Structure 1
Amino acid sequence: MAISSIGVGSGLPLNELLEDLRTAENQSLALIQSRQKTVESRLSAYGTLKGTIEALKKASDALGKPEAFGALKASVSGDAFTATASAKGIAGEYSIAVTQLAATQTMVAAGQADRTTAIATGSGTVDIEIALADGTTKTLTLDEADTSLNGIVKAINADPELGVKATLVNDGSGTPHRLLLTASASGTDAAVASITVEGSNELQAAIGYNSTNSGGATGGLTQQQAAANAQLTINGIAITSQSNHVTDAIEGVELTLSKVTTEPATLSLVNDDTVTADAINAFVTAYNKLQTTIKSLTAFNVEAETQSALTGDSLARNVQSQIRGALNVADSSGAIANLSQMGITTNPTDGTLIVDATKLNDALKDNMVDVQKLFTGENGLSAQLGAAADSFIKTGGVISNATDSINRTIKDLQKQYDTTSDRIDMKMENYRKQFAQLDVMMSQMNSISTYLTQQLSMLGSSSDK
């Protein structure tokens, strides 16, 4: 609030006095702001704590999934196909020969002089029935006025269930615009067996098709490329696939065929323990990040006598205790019954985990099943740590309730600040009015004093004469 310049009439430092009073009154606002800063720091710290717990849970959940264990690495000789393997596969070697790639059927119609003129005549509708080799049949209904090449392409491509895609090709002749249809998928099952038009002989003649005569009515579609299935042999066993992406020939292996082989290629599947090692190391990193975060948020600087946002906070200590407790999973059976037996130990100084890479790699190589059992399952480390983490980070969990409480406190403090600020403004306005009245009164008294002084001086002068 602006303060008028006062004190001119009285000569008193009333403006300075008013500013000193404002400074004194503002001490109560400073106390509220200090509390706000402290509470907001706690809120931010809880957000940081929650984020690190979530990162740890994500890393822990990854170790609870079967695909984290027993992964296979696929390598292929030659470039006829590529392969990827999952944990469902079995290590070994396979001799694979690709004798034919899967192909997609294509059909082309005779050229039309114009792509925008309706082929069908009349004002009714026409039904285009497309029958596929797998026995499915789809029907496309068009207005006769919309049976131009442009209209047919648009209508076909708007319906992904038809089993074909359409485009136009310009061959540069006198009737250059030719409709090109391509089956939506490769393989003989996806091939078009027939296209029949009901309601327009002109359209039937233009795009009709029957696989038995490769053309249907005169001027209709003709097959440019026949559909074909992929053919290969795996260790001498003949395999047929509708697609070049072969997913079920070898358990846990996906093959993507790209060319015919001149001689059999070798697919080698070997155990890839690095997938599990990477997942375990990611878990350890996330766990250690949580420990260092808690240490930073709860630290107290003895020399400076300053505390951190969560110094002495019971929630942070509870997180640390419960997460550490979740690591104490022990399986009485097997060669690997706890973390230390696979080379993961706790640093007694700061509580972080230390990984002995050599011991871990040996455990994965020799006792992968036991390692998997320790992490997975209903009572595995992943499940127990996940449950502990959820109690803090879930909606309605410990951190959620704490932050809700802090947000209410922040709102209350803001109300206190606003109320106190308004009270101070009113008080200062009252002071200003009182000081203004004092200034006027003192100015009047000074004027009277000056007048009396002048009169007395004049009387003295008269007496001297």
Structure 2
Amino acid sequence: MASTIVSSIGQGTGIDIGNMVQVLVTADTAAKKAQITRQTSNNAAMISGVGSLRSALTAFQDAMAKLNNKTTPSFNAYAAKSANESVVKVTAGNTAVAGTYDIAVNQLATGSKVASPPFGGGASSAVTAGKMVVQQGSNSYEIDVPDGATLQSVRDQINKELGVQGISANVVNGEGGARLVFSSTTTGKGSDLMVSGIPGLEIDGTEQMSDTGGGYITAIAQDAELTIDGLAVKSAKNTITDAISGITLELTGVSAKSGATATPTSVTVSQDNDGLKKSVQSFVDAYNTLQKTITALTTSTRDEDDNLSLGPLSNDPTTRALVNDIRKVLSEVGSGDQLTTLSQLGINTTKDGTLEFNSVKFTSAMNDKKLGSQVQELFTGDNGLISRMNKAIDPYNATDGSLATRKANLDKVAKNLADQQTALDRRTEALTESLTKKWVAMDTAVAKLNAQANQIKSVFDALNAQAKNS
């Protein structure tokens, strides 16, 4: 930081030395200072612009990711509704057919839950070493039980080695003693667990547990049983994808009965034009938000005095390349059958680069041209619009992308400018000190000369006065 120049009037010259030094220092450093200030301001604006652009790109990609969620697809052509979700939940895909179905659930699919014979010593009961074999259907798993094992350690070993298979164990202390209880996430008839190989831990999952023996606790594993419009259906799982084309059923409970007859739940599947329209509008809005940010960063404006003000990324080649790449994606022909372009859905690019969405044309595409089932492929297919848009943006917005590189280079420029400013401050301080010393020395010399002149003048004045009086 340059030292402050204090104003002082020279005793010898009467000159304001501080002001004179200030003028000389400014004349020497003003051009460089102005250059550094201008470049620093421009560089800071570009850093801010790059940051704003990256934030806008990230927000756009986040919005696309939400629309591309595989768990809750945003572009399904059909919507399904269950009259009683405590019995059955339903979702529809693009291959569904509009209609109504009556579904009655007689029983849910269950997994195997079995218990060993009781051990009197609780969880610390000793277990004989050996090879435990756990069998489920055609699958068989072996566990080597070491010497010194207990019910607790065997439980831990089962959970560690068979957890990935969906088989778990725990120790339950009952009135008759401690039992090793096995559970399985696999459901369906024939998935009962069988345990053999270790004395005291033998379990036949098809036999009911007794006071002294092992077996199933409540019931053997069973299939789900239901009727769809009166037609009997069985499933090893409670999530059924192949009973009705294009529809997934999730069984959540058993239907209430009126006498011996199960009360059916009505499931309705209908064309979801409103849902599709909302999702398409969400994409258009997200893209327009990005485009408006880019426009603000690259557009030149004029102030009240008609002075031109450039946007922080005006004439920036990286931003121009980005805009060209994402606009190219919008105009590309997709890989669908009948629906291959956004314009078929009423989406077109305006003069300012944003998208406009014509709802009348969209409705016609859904109702008259029956394109609803192809919207999902256009947007979220393997080579759909969202996938291609992300491929266009990633080279710019990735952690090692061109915008990150640009930011790193701009930061280096900012550091260099800061170093230049520090050097200029040091020069300003040194020059101020040097010039101040020189001007003070000159003023002191002038003061001495003035004093000598005054003394000489006094001598001559005295002589003249003496001459007049003699």
Scaled by the length of structure 1, the TM-score of the pair is 0.74
Checking the alignment, whether the CA contact within 8 Å between 2:132 and 2:142 is kept in structure 1 is: yes
1:238 aligns with 2:244: no
1:89 aligns with 2:118: no
Structure-to-structure mapping, 1:121-160, within 5 angstroms: 126-147=129-150, 149-159=151-161, 160=163
CA distance in 2, matches of 1:164, 1:58: 37
Partner of 1:77: 83
CA gap of 1:347–1:449, structure 2 versus 1, over 3 A, is same
CA gap of 1:319–1:145, structure 2 versus 1, over 3 A, is closer
SS in 2 for 1:144: coil
Checking the alignment, whether the CA contact within 8 Å between 1:68 and 1:276 is kept in structure 2 is: yes
1:188-212 C-alpha deviation (Å, 9 max, x unpaired): 3432123321xxxxxx22x221346
CA gap of 1:150–1:16, structure 2 versus 1, over 3 A, is farther
1:161-196 C-alpha deviation (Å, 9 max, x unpaired): 46532223343x4x6544332223332343212332
CA gap of 1:361–1:162, structure 2 versus 1, over 3 A, is closer
Checking the alignment, whether the CA contact within 8 Å between 1:336 and 1:363 is kept in structure 2 is: no
Partner of 1:289: 289
Decide which of 104, 114, 134 is 2:111's aligned counterpart. Answer: 104
Letter paired with 2:181: L
Partner of 1:200: none
1:223 aligns with 2:216: yes
CA gap of 1:80–1:330, structure 2 versus 1, over 3 A, is closer
TM-superposed CA distance for 1:255, in Å, is: 1.4
Partner of 1:36: 40
Instruction: Give unpaired runs (5+ residues) of structure 1.
Output: 198-203
Partner of 2:259: none
CA distance in 1, matches of 2:276, 2:35: 54
Structure-to-structure mapping, 1:332-347, within 5 angstroms: 342-344=345-347
SS in 2 for 1:269: strand
TM-superposed CA distance for 1:101, in Å, is: 1.0
Letter paired with 1:37: S
CA distance in 2, matches of 1:59, 1:366: 30
Instruction: Give unpaired runs (5+ residues) of structure 2.
Output: 256-261
Partner of 1:201: none
TM-superposed CA distance for 1:418, in Å, is: 3.7
1:167 aligns with 2:170: yes
CA distance in 2, matches of 1:334, 1:144: 66
CA gap of 1:45–1:357, structure 2 versus 1, over 3 A, is same
State percent identity of aligned pairs.
24
CA distance in 2, matches of 1:402, 1:288: 24
Checking the alignment, whether the CA contact within 8 Å between 2:116 and 2:203 is kept in structure 1 is: no
Letter paired with 1:357: S
CA distance in 1, matches of 2:120, 2:439: 98
CA gap of 1:2–1:112, structure 2 versus 1, over 3 A, is farther
1:356 aligns with 2:350: no
CA gap of 1:439–1:102, structure 2 versus 1, over 3 A, is farther
Farther-moved stretch of structure 1 (336-345 vs 182-191): 336-345
1:279 aligns with 2:267: no
CA gap of 1:457–1:181, structure 2 versus 1, over 3 A, is farther
CA gap of 1:113–1:448, structure 2 versus 1, over 3 A, is farther
CA distance in 1, matches of 2:169, 2:384: 54
1:248 aligns with 2:242: yes
CA gap of 1:215–1:355, structure 2 versus 1, over 3 A, is closer
CA distance in 2, matches of 1:436, 1:391: 63
1:119 aligns with 2:112: no
Checking the alignment, whether the CA contact within 8 Å between 2:114 and 2:205 is kept in structure 1 is: no
CA gap of 1:155–1:434, structure 2 versus 1, over 3 A, is farther
TM-superposed CA distance for 1:301, in Å, is: 1.9
TM-superposed CA distance for 1:272, in Å, is: 1.0
CA distance in 2, matches of 1:143, 1:374: 55
CA gap of 1:233–1:143, structure 2 versus 1, over 3 A, is same
CA distance in 2, matches of 1:144, 1:31: 82
Partner of 2:428: 424
TM-superposed CA distance for 1:300, in Å, is: 0.9
CA distance in 2, matches of 1:301, 1:184: 68
CA gap of 1:193–1:389, structure 2 versus 1, over 3 A, is closer
The alignment covers a number of residue pairs equal to: 448
CA gap of 1:56–1:215, structure 2 versus 1, over 3 A, is closer
Aligned residues: CA RMSD: 4.7
TM-superposed CA distance for 1:29, in Å, is: 2.8
Checking the alignment, whether the CA contact within 8 Å between 1:101 and 1:231 is kept in structure 2 is: yes
Letter paired with 2:37: Q
CA distance in 2, matches of 1:383, 1:213: 53
CA distance in 2, matches of 1:446, 1:62: 87
1:35-71 C-alpha deviation (Å, 9 max, x unpaired): 1111221232233335445655776799999966552
Decide which of 253, 276, 279 is 1:259's aligned counterpart. Answer: 253
CA distance in 2, matches of 1:373, 1:72: 11
CA distance in 1, matches of 2:224, 2:104: 11
CA distance in 1, matches of 2:376, 2:127: 69
Letter paired with 1:48: S
SS in 1 for 2:46: helix
1:81-103 C-alpha deviation (Å, 9 max, x unpaired): 11112223232233322221112
CA distance in 1, matches of 2:116, 2:383: 65
CA distance in 2, matches of 1:62, 1:132: 42
CA distance in 1, matches of 2:118, 2:443: 104
CA gap of 1:141–1:269, structure 2 versus 1, over 3 A, is same
CA distance in 2, matches of 1:384, 1:192: 48
TM-superposed CA distance for 1:429, in Å, is: 4.3
